[in-house]
Structure formats: C-alpha cells, structure tokens
A and B are shown apart, each in its own frame.
Chain A
Amino acid sequence: MSTAYSAVGWNRQKKIYDGWIAAFCISYLALFISLTLLFNSEATFETILIRSTSTLAVLLLHIILSIGPLTRLNKKFMPLLYNRRHLGVTMFSFSAVHGIFGIIQFHSLSNTNPLLSLFLSNTNYGSIPAFPFQALGFFALIIFFLMAITSHDFWLHNLSPIVWKTLHMFVYAAYILVVMHVMLGVIQYEKNPVFVLILFTGSASLIILHLLAGLKERKIDKMKFKLQEDGFVYVCEADEIEDSRAKIFCIDQERIAVYRHEQKLYAIHNVCKHQGGPLGEGKIVDGCITCPWHGYQYLPHNGQSPPPFKERVSTYDVRVNHNKVWLNPIAFAEGTEREGALL
C-alpha cells in the first residue's frame, strides 16, 4: 500500500521483529556449535556448518508453519504473523547455506559437475535405505528459493495474487520433501533415533495445530443464520462486539466483518486487498480498520484506504434493533459509502 516501492518496508515494529529473529538465530548457532565442540570434538568446520544451518532452518520452518493456525486459535500470536515473510527469507538463507555447503562437501571433489553429481553419484532411486535423499533437499530448496525471491509486494501485484498464493502454498510440498530428506538421510548417517523422534514430534504438532484451527474455522462457517427480515439476517447481539474490534460472519460463502467504531457498527468484506488477510481479525487504529497481517488500512464507513492509497473493499448494510444486529449479505460495490448503524 505504498506509493513507491522500497527494498524492505522496515518500520519500528518490523525492526524489532527482525532483531528477535537475528537474536534467536545467533543464539541457536552459538549453542549448537558449543555443544558440538564439547561432545564431538572431531567434527570438522564444514560438518558443523552443514548441520547447524540445516537444523536451524528446520526449526524456523516449524515456527513459520505454526504461526498461521496459532493466530487462528489465539489472537495473542498475531504479532508473529506481522512479518512472517522475513522469517521465511531467513529460513531460506540458512537452508541455502546448508545446501550449498552440502554440495561443496560431497560433490565438488569429483570431476563431474557438482549438480550432476548430486543426482547421479547415488542412483538407488528404487531403494528406501539407500535413497539419494539429497535430491529431495534440492527440490525443497528450489521451492524455498522461488518463495524467497517473490516475497516482495511487487511480485504479489505482478504475478497476480492467485498465482502468488498458489506458489506460496507449495511450502507444504517443500515441508514434506524436507521431512523425507531428513528421515532418509538420517537413517544413512546416524544410528541415534533422537533426531527422528524430534522431527516426528514437530510434524505431529503441526498437523494437530492445523486440524484444530481448521475445526474452529468450520464452526464459524457452519453457523446457520435463519432469522431473516427483508434481506437482513440476524447475526448476533450488539454487545458481543467489542469496541474497535469486529466479529466475522460467513453468510452464503461470503465472509463479512462487522466492526464497532465510535458507537456505530460497520460491515465490510473480510478479505484484505493485499494478500487476503482476515480484516475482521484486526482492529481499528487511528480510525482505520487495520489488517492484522501487514497493516493495510481501510475506512470503516466506505471500505477505502485513506489517500493516497487506492485499495477498496466491498461494504454492506447493518441495522441494530433492540441490541440485535442484522446484516444484509448483499455486497455494495467496492468503496461504496454506508453510514453504519447507530448503537
């Protein structure tokens, strides 16, 4: 929602966020390196580099993938979501260091091209215990690479949001590739089952988190709205909506956010124009509905971003009668002014 692009849209919160990422990564690497030197003093520099960056990347990947469902389950996690893409680019950078040093360490000494060697030095593609697990890591790395290089808003606009979202959904495919890369690799290198156990626990918690969040969403979507009066549907009691906050209702497959702002209720489409963030999970900041994902803003009474920005979302009619909130699910054109309902 900027008037011109900048390289990285840093502001105070994002700097704090990135500071935490840096502190976390440095502490992890320091801890990993000290423990390795303490317990496995023969480990070479390359081995330490390959193993510390790979495990850090996998840890970050688990954090990244749990942020989505966590924020759905509890609003307290919202700040984590705000700058998730920097976390993603960081994760890619560490996995790239791991991958590149892996290739240097294991494939640059022969006289074949290292990338060819990656696929051809082990051709047991039919065997599980001897599977060329590095190829799986390679494809995961390619997916992370494509996501990292398209993480700027320029790409969201120019690849179109649908293509961009689809590309970024491949993170789940990459996750599966990483799990197989690690599992199949570990059974070849390690006898210790601790590593498999840790990864298994990580995957299990991710799956459970996603299921829980999915169930919660479905409950909202399945809420049946029966009471109707000339197009308006009864949705809730007015005092169920906190000031400067919203409740989301899904009527006829459309998600609508009903916001309370200065003793009035306003309804807008729940989907942010930026990356489809849930506007109803945000709050009102400086008189504007503020998307919880990256802070795009919309005026409650007309769904327009304050000038000079140009984003617009659909608006809806709301009525309040004896503390009962009635919503008309027929959308007005994006950016249409609606006066809201006085409480």
Chain B
Amino acid sequence: MIISVILIIALIYLLIGVLFVPFFYAKCIRHIDETAKGSSIGFYIIISPGVIVFWPVLLRKWRKALKEQAYE
C-alpha cells in the first residue's frame, strides 16, 4: 500500500517535470545561466532528464533571478 502511494507520488512529480521542460527552455534558462546562450541542441537533450528530476531547484532559481532583475 505505502509503496503504491510513493510510486504514484513519484510519477506525478516526474510528470510535472516533463511538462516543465519546454517551459524551462523557452522562458527560464536564459535568466539563470548566461553560458547556455547559443548552446547546441545536443546540450538541451542531454540536460533534459536532469530538468525533469530537479525542476523545483530550477524553478526556485528562476524566480530568484527574476526578482533580482526587477530590483536592477
């Protein structure tokens, strides 16, 4: 029982991550990492699994970066 619940939660978490990927590449990545500018498609493919897993970290980084830019 507990294991089913954990599995379902993990699945939902990862699904949100999948949905986050296109949004991240379109809106966020240029605010949090300048180096990413002009990177190859291969680069985006290779970091995608990480974006799916670590989306909350990136989301928080993006929001922080936006706030800092608003101050400037």
Q: Which residues of chain A have a CB within 8 Å of any CB of chain B?
A: 2-8, 113, 115-116, 119-120, 146, 149-150, 152, 154-155, 157-159
Nearest A residue to B4, CB-CB:
A116
Interface flag for B32 (CB, 8 Å): yes
19 chain-A/chain-B pairs, Cβ below 8 angstroms:
A2-B35, A4-B36, A4-B38, A5-B36, A5-B43, A7-B43, A7-B46, A146-B53, A149-B53, A150-B50, A150-B54, A152-B46, A152-B47, A152-B50, A154-B43, A155-B47, A155-B50, A157-B35, A158-B57
A157 & B53 in contact (Cβ 8 Å cutoff): no
* A159, B53: Cα distance in complex, Å: 12
Contact of B33 among A116, A149, A150, A154 (CB under 8 A): A154
Majority SS at the chain B contact face? helix
Name the interface size band of chain B: 20 to 34
A5 touches B50 (CB 8 A): no
A169 and B43 alpha carbons, distance in the complex (Å): 25
| Chain A residues, Cβ within 8 Å of B3 | 116, 119-120
Interface residues of B in 28-44 (CB under 8 A from A): 32-33, 35-43
Q: Is the CB of B54 within 8 A of A5?
A: no
Interface string of B33-72 (1 = CB under 8 A from A): 1011111111101110110011001100100000000000
**CA of A195 to CA of B35, assembled, Å:** 47
Given contacts A116-B4, A116-B7, A119-B3, contact A6 B40 (CB under 8 A): yes
Closest partner residue, chain A, to B6 (CB atom): A119
For A113, the closest partner residue in chain B by CB is B7
> Assuming A7-B43, A8-B46, A155-B54, what are 15 further A-B pairs, CB within 8 angstroms?
A2-B35, A4-B36, A4-B37, A4-B39, A5-B43, A7-B41, A116-B3, A116-B7, A119-B3, A120-B3, A152-B46, A152-B47, A152-B50, A154-B50, A158-B57
A159 touches B57 (CB 8 A): yes
Cα–Cα distance between A258 and B68 once the two chains are bound (Å): 39
Report yes or no: B43 in contact with A149, Cβ–Cβ below 8 A. no
CA distance A157 to B33 in the complex (A): 8
Q: Are B45 and A158 in contact (CB under 8 A)?
A: no
Q: Which of B4, B32, B37, B40 contacts A158 (CB 8 A)?
A: B32
Nearest chain A CB to B20 CB, angstrom units: 14
Are A5 and B35 in contact, with the CB atoms below 8 A?
A: yes
Contact assessment for A149 and B49 in the assembled complex, using a CB-CB cutoff below 8 Å: yes
Minimum CB–CB distance for B48 against chain A, Å: 9
Residue of B nearest to A120 (CB): B3
**Bound form: Cα–Cα A152–B43 in Å:** 9
Check A6 against B47 for contact (C-beta < 8 Å).
Answer: no
Q: Say whether B53 contacts A158, CB under 8 Å.
A: no
A119 and B4 CA atoms in complex are apart in Å by 10
Q: What CA separation (Å) do A157 and B32 show in the bound complex?
A: 10
- Are the C-beta atoms of B7 and A6 separated by less than 8 Å? no
Q: Which one of A8, A120, A154 contacts B36 once the chains associate, using CB atoms below 8 Å? A: A154
Closest A residue to B58 using CB positions = A158
Please determine whether A7 and B50 come into contact, CB atoms closer than 8 angstroms.
no
Chain A residues with Cβ below 8 Å from B53 are 146, 149
**Closest approach, in angstroms, between the C-beta of B17 and any C-beta of chain A?**
11
- Which residues of chain A have C-beta atoms less than 8 A from B50's C-beta? 149-150, 152, 154-155
The smallest C-beta distance from B69 to any residue of chain A, in angstroms, reads 17
